[in-house]
């Protein structure tokens, strides 16, 4: 297995999902992540004997790079894939099983990528397969969300591909050796910000993730943003700009979550918030900061996955995810209530659960660098997280009184496999919070953090208790409204026509001029294309701009279709 890429078992499972009967497909869903894990273990035993390299158009591509930073992300993604497959085991949708396995394989491939070309390849595959998971025949709005999702990620792909072209024209660079003054650095930053859903590049996430099936939304919650966090840690560690962007994302996500009525959209905004935490750690650039960001990314994969599983179970049972249509579920779904609260307390930093460990590490890393203002911002975001997820959502869904205006709670039973996946995910959150030493050993750098200092425990409990008192006093004033909260996506929903007339048409003239010159140059070569001569014959700026011209035209058309 030394030469077998860990993504291949997952891609194979995706293809088999299209042809196998339901029972055999279930078997493949549960065994493929184990096969991927064994491939990773085999690679770690002989990291120099892989031979997973190839040449494409004269460029060498290194498909695998193994180190401690990538390893913890790969392990987390594989474990989450198995849990997600268990959660979706009852589903008879071949398309969901196919897209989920291929999405997981693409994510594993991206984390293991050894250069920018291979990272870009898997990065774009993630966009394709995740878009499939957004499609939900039961929701008429899902098609428009899918088109807008595709358009936004196409823009990110434009930035990424243009950066790769610049890097290759300059002789190539490893993922951690990008020059500070390179134009490619800013293009990569934009591409990563899109996938990480950092404001103002974030609106695709709460727009698209709530539209998928209950099973599809669980998979969507775990991969794209976390792979982007890994990419930031690999390429932009120590960039001060990430601290400000991360703090902004943390607050922005909480504010919008407090206003949300749709449970899955509320959780989607909290993905933005939690990714903001991770970027703050990466921006510090210290060993403690990178450890904290990695730990929080892994923890977020688990507890945010658990929260999406719980809300997906409610959607499966009741047919709605809107808090204004729910109430009184606590008496009917006591086990689900307990599992949901475990995820809510984990993301809120309750001692004994994994969120407490990772958030504590991050606060210590900020304190060591005297980032007091950012500490207070993240503490405020933590209070808002508990207020919206641990209290608001739980109250209106599980304890709120179901009025006559609300829909009657459904009677569709929640499949046993859904509960099994949630119980195992809860157990992992608790294990990492109660016995963190094993978890520390997986982090990229040696850990110098005592999680169980009495001051830290009391501080976390005081924050949660204070937020609880605030909710008890002001909670009765809260109302959930079914109206749609407008976000930045309003601008690109309404502005696609303006872009078509004011931007794409002028760029189209440039496109035609360059294309005509290239055609003449190729004809001059008598039909034999010499790649070296071809690259030297034009301004390196022309190809990225030409690519952007065609790409923006396509993006605008997709936006117009998705409005």
- CB–CB of 139/151 below 8 Å? no
pTM tops 0.85, yes or no? yes
- Same domain as 93, residue 2: yes
> Nearest 10 degrees: CA dihedral of 492, 494, 496, 501?
-140
pLDDT at 49: 45
Q: Residues of 135-165 as b/e, b for ≥16 C-beta within 10 angstroms?
A: bbeeeeebbbbbbbbbbbbbbbbbbbbbbbb
pLDDT at 404: 45
pLDDT at 522: 54
pLDDT at 401: 63
Q: Does residue 149 form part of some domain?
A: no
Q: Does residue 153 form part of some domain?
A: no
- Same domain as 499, residue 480: no
**Domain endpoint, select from 447, 466, 487:** 487
- Same domain as 508, residue 434: no
pLDDT at 474: 77
Tokens of residue 3, six digits:
């030469």
Tokens of residue 274, six digits:
């939690």
- Same domain as 41, residue 3: yes
Q: Does residue 120 form part of some domain?
A: yes
- Same domain as 514, residue 405: no
pLDDT at 4: 84
- Residue ranges of the alpha helices (H) in 285-333? 287-318
Q: For residues 433 and 427, what is the distance between their CA atoms, to the nearest angstrom?
A: 10
- Same domain as 389, residue 534: no
Helix (H) or strand (E) holding 234, with range, is helix 224-235
Look at residue 171 and give its three-state secondary structure. coil
Q: Does residue 216 form part of some domain?
A: no
**Domain endpoint, select from 438, 468, 487:** 487
Q: Does residue 276 form part of some domain?
A: yes
- Same domain as 555, residue 445: no
Q: Does residue 395 form part of some domain?
A: yes
- Same domain as 541, residue 478: no
Q: Does residue 350 form part of some domain?
A: yes
Number of folded domains in the chain?
Answer: 3
- Same domain as 503, residue 398: no
Q: Does residue 181 form part of some domain?
A: no
- Same domain as 430, residue 294: yes
- Same domain as 129, residue 11: yes
* Domain coverage including residue 327: 196-211+221-487
Residue 92 has, within 13 A of its CA and on its CB side, a CA count of: 2
- Same domain as 415, residue 518: no
- CB–CB of 261/482 below 8 Å? yes
Helix (H) or strand (E) holding 55, with range, is strand 53-56
pLDDT tens digit at each of 563 positions of the chain: 567 889 999 999 999 999 999 999 999 999 999 999 999 998 887 655 455 666 555 566 788 888 899 999 999 999 999 999 999 999 999 999 999 999 999 999 999 998 888 999 999 999 999 999 998 888 878 888 888 888 888 888 888 988 888 877 776 666 666 667 677 888 899 999 999 999 999 989 999 999 989 999 999 999 999 999 999 999 999 899 999 999 999 999 999 998 899 999 999 999 999 999 999 999 999 999 999 999 999 999 999 999 999 999 999 988 888 888 888 888 888 999 999 999 999 999 999 999 999 999 999 999 999 999 999 999 999 999 999 999 999 999 998 765 444 554 566 789 999 999 999 999 999 999 999 998 899 999 999 888 889 988 999 999 999 999 988 887 666 777 766 677 776 666 665 555 555 555 555 555 555 556 556 655 555 444 455 555 455 454 455 555 555 555 555 555 555 55
């Amino acid at each position: 297995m030394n030469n077998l890429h860990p993504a291949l078992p997952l891609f194979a499972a995706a293809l088999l999902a299209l042809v196998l009967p339901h029972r055999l497909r279930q078997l493949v869903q549960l065994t493929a992540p184990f096969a991927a894990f064994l491939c990773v273990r085999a690679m770690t035993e002989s990291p120099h004997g892989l031979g997973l390299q190839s040449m494409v158009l004269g460029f060498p591509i290194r498909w695998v790079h193994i180190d401690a930073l990538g390893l913890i992300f790969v392990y987390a993604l594989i474990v989450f894939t198995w849990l997600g497959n268990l959660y979706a085991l009852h589903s008879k949708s071949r398309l969901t099983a196919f897209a989920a396995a291929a999405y997981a394989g693409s994510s594993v491939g991206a984390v293991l990528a050894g250069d920018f070309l291979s990272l870009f390849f898997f990065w774009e595959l993630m966009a394709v397969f995740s878009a499939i998971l957004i499609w939900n025949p039961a929701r008429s709005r899902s098609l428009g969300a899918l088109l807008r999702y595709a358009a936004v990620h196409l823009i990110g792909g434009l930035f990424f591909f243009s950066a790769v072209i610049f890097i290759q024209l300059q002789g190539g660079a490893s993922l951690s050796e990008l020059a500070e003054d390179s134009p490619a650095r800013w293009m990569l930053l934009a591409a990563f910000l899109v996938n990480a859903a950092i404001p103002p590049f974030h609106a695709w996430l709460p727009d698209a993730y709530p539209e998928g099936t209950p099973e599809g939304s669980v998979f969507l919650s775990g991969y794209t943003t976390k792979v982007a966090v890994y990419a930031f840690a690999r390429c932009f560690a120590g960039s001060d700009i990430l601290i400000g962007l991360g703090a902004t994302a943390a607050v922005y996500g909480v504010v919008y979550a407090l206003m949300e009525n749709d449970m899955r959209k509320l959780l989607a905004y909290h993905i933005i918030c939690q990714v903001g935490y991770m970027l703050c750690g990466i921006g510090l650039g210290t060993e403690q900061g990178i450890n904290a960001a990695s730990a929080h990314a892994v923890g977020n994969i688990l507890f945010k996955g658990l929260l999406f599983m719980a809300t997906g179970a409610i959607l499966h049972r009741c047919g709605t995810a809107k808090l204004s249509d729910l109430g009184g579920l606590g008496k009917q779904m006591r086990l689900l209530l307990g599992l949901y609260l475990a995820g809510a307390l984990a993301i809120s930093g309750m001692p004994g659960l994994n969120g407490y460990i990772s958030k504590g590490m991050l606060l210590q890393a900020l304190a060591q660098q005297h980032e007091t203002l950012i500490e207070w911002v993240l503490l405020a975001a933590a209070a808002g997280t508990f207020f919206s997820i641990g209290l608001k959502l739980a109250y209106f869904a599980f304890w709120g009184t179901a009025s006559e205006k609300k829909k009657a709670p459904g009677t569709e039973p929640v499949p046993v496999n859904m509960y099994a996946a949630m119980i195992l995910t809860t157990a992992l959150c608790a294990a990492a919070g109660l016995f963190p030493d094993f978890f520390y050993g997986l982090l990229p750098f040696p850990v110098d953090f005592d999680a169980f200092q009495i001051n830290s425990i009391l501080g976390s409990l005081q924050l949660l208790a204070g937020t609880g008192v605030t909710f008890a006093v002001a909670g009765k004033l809260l109302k959930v409204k079914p109206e749609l909260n407008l976000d930045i996506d309003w601008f690109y929903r309404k502005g696609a026509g303006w872009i078509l007339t004011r931007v794409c048409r002028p760029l189209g003239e440039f496109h035609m001029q360059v294309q005509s010159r290239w055609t003449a140059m190729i004809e001059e070569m008598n039909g034999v294309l010499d790649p070296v001569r071809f690259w030297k014959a034009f301004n390196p700026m022309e190809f990225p701009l030409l690519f952007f011209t065609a790409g923006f035209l396509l993006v605008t058309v997709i936006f117009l279709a998705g409005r």
